[in-house]
Amino acid sequence: MTSSKNNIFLVDDDQTANFINEMQINRFSSNFNILTFTCAQQALEALKNKIKMPEFIFLDIDMPKLNGWEFIDHFKELKSSSKIVMVTSSLDPSDKLKAKELNEVVAFIEKPLVKSHLEPIFND
């Protein structure tokens, strides 16, 4: 099993969002190994198989088949130490409140992801 240090999963069905998020994280620091997933189910399978366990999972909410909230429900069963960062275009205040209630979620960020969002996450 690969160490979880410095691994990041980007989980968003929008390939452009994953590309932009990866660029922003790489601009912040080149010390991360970033894996992108356009399907939340594939990210869960990688977690179940303990492939490059991530320190952080940047997760969108609105995705087909398995949305971000459903992903978190399955993620809880894995007892992973990975930290989830919600990165979403949702402006629904209830989404932000729901995220704050979840111990697995360390941040809730409205898209687009920018450097000022990353500093408190990675420097914590």
Instruction: Give residue-wise pLDDT tens across range 5-27.
Output: 589 999 999 999 999 999 999 99
Helix (H) or strand (E) holding 35: strand 33-37
% of the chain residues with pLDDT over 90: 83
Sheet holding 83-88, edge to edge: 33-37, 7-11, 56-59, 83-88, 105-110
| 40-97 pLDDT per residue, tens | 999 999 999 987 899 999 999 999 999 999 999 999 999 899 999 999 998 899 999 9
Which pTM does this prediction carry? 0.92
For the chain, the structural domain boundaries read 7-122
Question: How much is the pLDDT for 30?
Answer: 86
Fold classified for 7-122 = Rossmann fold (3.40.50)
